[in-house]
């Protein structure tokens, strides 16, 4: 049967390594590549919206080279699809599988609607290296809670599948996409103004969205063979003036770059050479992503404290003033404020910088719930990813996975390790740029004469520290200790365990997975031969 097919782009905003797209082209006579701007879907702040629109423009450009185009519509998918099924006489729908709870719920609704309209649905796993359900299945139905145990599972599964090439004109010779000038008006890509973004408020776009930019950056990094082979994430700098890592994470998060393509390009570079290994290598970073994705699939309420049975229940404070000061870079600690300024302005910060500000907000200084920090990162980060954001915030607040709560990042000393002169602070907080080196991290300690000479009076031109770190951090360590003690009373095993290093999560018993009815509907891929 020759199908009229919609390929529904969501996160996989690319042509390369897109098995669901190639599935759409099989037995297809008419193809409608579709993106739905879903009002219920979180697209984040202005930087992320700009990145998304750039990715859509790039995707449309690539499709037009194949004599096709991207159709963009706005609305709830469950309301959009019935209309399009009828209007376009659709018989097949394809998409890339998504594991987020919202996405599973959305896709179950769309699948039911497709069935009502006689539309065949086909999806493939390609946003991750592995099928998360397969990993849990391989672990006797339990969710692995340590990176080490996760490594053992994927080692048994073998390397990820190799990526498939992007479709070419030859693949499209018998496939047509209806295109007309009217379509540009009806199905064109929204402008920044359309999505509520004032472009005058945006700073320079350092990381443009799109598959072509992703592949260009990948090529650029892979040409640095020595750097790639010697890469160790903990040895990179959180406050270098230019990124000390690849910054490919936004492209992987949006699916402009396939994780499998990234993995195998790294394998090509590594081959025959001495290189670093997981967890600190670049392969290791991709496996961290898989680890948190697996946890997010197997642990109910993964992005919440309450109802998350692997998360330590902590009586966090509610302090709107502290939260706003942290979010708006007004804590009075230049290293923290510089990081938060970079995050708000550019949409990206180094992973160790994330560690510093997350620890400061939660268990280190302000004692505010990691859920609040999670919301801010969701808004600001270009590379926001539901599973990784929730997993990392639990880790950094010492709520789940990592439990060395007594190891607190200093908002002063930590930044000095890699930037003694404070050049990073001067870049993002120019109000402090004239402070002498010895006061740049602690301007409140500078004599008034020095502050006047620097043109910045602390408490007037730049805020005083919101807390006294040396005092409050010790208090919070005791509060965390009490939370752990209380938590251990309800568990057969105390969560307080020492780990071999800060790079390895605490060893804990795996959690038996409890599948939801929605997941049951969508995860039974094997029976239909739909496992990628």
Annotated binding site for FAD: which residue ranges? 245-249, 285-292, 383-385
Contact by Cβ (8 Å): 236, 228: no
Contact by Cβ (8 Å): 377, 371: no
Of 143, 523, 479, give the one whose Cα is nearest residue 301.
143
Contact by Cβ (8 Å): 426, 433: yes
Strand order in the sheet with 3-9: 71-74, 28-37, 3-9, 92-96, 120-124
> 83 phi and psi, to 5 degrees?
-70, -45
β partners of residue 30: 4, 176
Contact by Cβ (8 Å): 94, 123: yes
Name the token pair of 390.
């929730």
β partners of residue 280: none
Give the helix/strand (H/E) hosting 85: helix 77-87
CA–CA distance, 208 with 201 (Å, rounded to integer):
16
State the angle between helix axes of 334-346 and 370-380 in degrees (0 to 180), rounded to the nearest 10. 40
Q: What's the gap between Cα 393 and its chain centre?
A: 12
CA–CA distance, 401 with 507 (Å, rounded to integer):
8
Contact by Cβ (8 Å): 392, 292: yes
Residue 384: how many CA atoms within 13 Å on its side-chain side? 24
Q: Name residue, tokens 């376009």.
A: 88
Count other C-beta atoms under 10 Å from residue 165's C-beta: 12
- 3-state SS track over 127-192: CCCCCHHHHHHHCCCEECCCHHHHHHHHHHHCCCCCCCCCCCHHHHCCCECCCCHHHHHHHCCCCC
Name the token pair of 438.
């010895």
Binding site listing: 245-249, 285-292, 383-385
């Amino acid at each position: 049967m020759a199908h009229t097919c919609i390929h529904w782009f969501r996160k996989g905003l690319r042509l390369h390594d897109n098995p669901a797209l190639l599935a759409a082209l099989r037995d297809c006579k008419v193809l409608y590549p579709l993106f739905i701007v879903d009002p219920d879907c979180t697209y984040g702040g202005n930087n992320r919206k700009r990145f998304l629109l750039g990715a859509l423009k790039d995707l449309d450009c690539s499709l037009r080279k194949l004599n096709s185009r991207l159709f963009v519509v706005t609305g709830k998918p469950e309301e959009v699809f019935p209309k399009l099924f009828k209007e376009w006489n659709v018989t097949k729908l394809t998409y890339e599988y998504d594991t987020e709870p919202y996405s599973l719920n959305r896709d179950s609704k769309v699948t039911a609607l497709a069935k009502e309209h006689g539309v065949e649905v086909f999806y493939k796993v390609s946003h991750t290296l592995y099928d998360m359900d397969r990993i849990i299945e391989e672990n006797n139905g339990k969710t692995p809670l340590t990176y080490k145990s996760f490594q053992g599972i994927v080692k048994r599964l073998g390397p990820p599948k190799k990526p498939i090439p992007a479709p070419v004109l030859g693949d499209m010779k018998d496939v047509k996409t209806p295109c007309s000038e009217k379509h540009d008006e009806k199905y064109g890509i929204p402008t920044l103004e359309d999505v509520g973004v004032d472009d005058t408020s945006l700073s320079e776009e350092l990381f443009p969205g799109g598959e072509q930019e992703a592949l260009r950056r990948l090529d650029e990094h892979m040409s640095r063979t020595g750097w790639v082979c010697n890469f160790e994430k903990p040895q990179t700098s959180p406050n270098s003036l230019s990124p000390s890592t690849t910054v490919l994470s936004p492209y992987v998060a949006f699916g402009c770059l396939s994780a499998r393509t990234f993995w195998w390009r790294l394998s090509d570079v590594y081959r025959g050479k001495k290189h670093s290994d997981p967890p600190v290598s670049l392969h290791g970073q991709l496996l961290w992503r898989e680890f948190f994705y697996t946890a997010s699939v197997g642990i109910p309420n993964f992005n919440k404290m309450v109802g998350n049975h692997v998360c330590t229940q902590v009586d966090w404070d509610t302090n709107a003033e502290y939260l706003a000061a942290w979010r708006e870079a007004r804590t009075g600690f230049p290293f923290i404020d510089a990081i938060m300024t970079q995050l708000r302005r550019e949409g990206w910060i180094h992973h160790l910088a994330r560690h510093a500000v997350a620890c400061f907000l939660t268990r280190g200084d302000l004692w505010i719930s990691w859920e609040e920090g999670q919301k801010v990162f969701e808004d600001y980060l270009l590379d926001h990813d539901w599973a990784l954001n929730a997993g990392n915030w639990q880790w950094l607040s010492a709520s789940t996975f990592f439990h060395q709560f007594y190891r607190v990042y200093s908002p002063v000393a930590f930044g000095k390790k890699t930037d003694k002169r404070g050049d990073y602070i001067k870049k993002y907080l120019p109000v402090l740029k004239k402070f002498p080196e010895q006061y740049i991290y602690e301007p409140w300690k500078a004599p008034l004469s020095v502050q006047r000479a620097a043109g910045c009076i602390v408490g007037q031109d730049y805020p005083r520290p919101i807390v006294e770190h040396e005092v409050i951090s010790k208090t919070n360590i005791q509060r965390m200790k009490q939370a752990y003690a209380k938590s251990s009373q309800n568990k057969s095993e105390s969560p307080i365990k020492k780990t071999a290093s800060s790079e390895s999560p605490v060893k804990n018993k795996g959690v038996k997975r409890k599948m939801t009815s929605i997941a049951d509907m969508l995860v039974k891929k094997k029976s239909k031969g739909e496992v990628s």
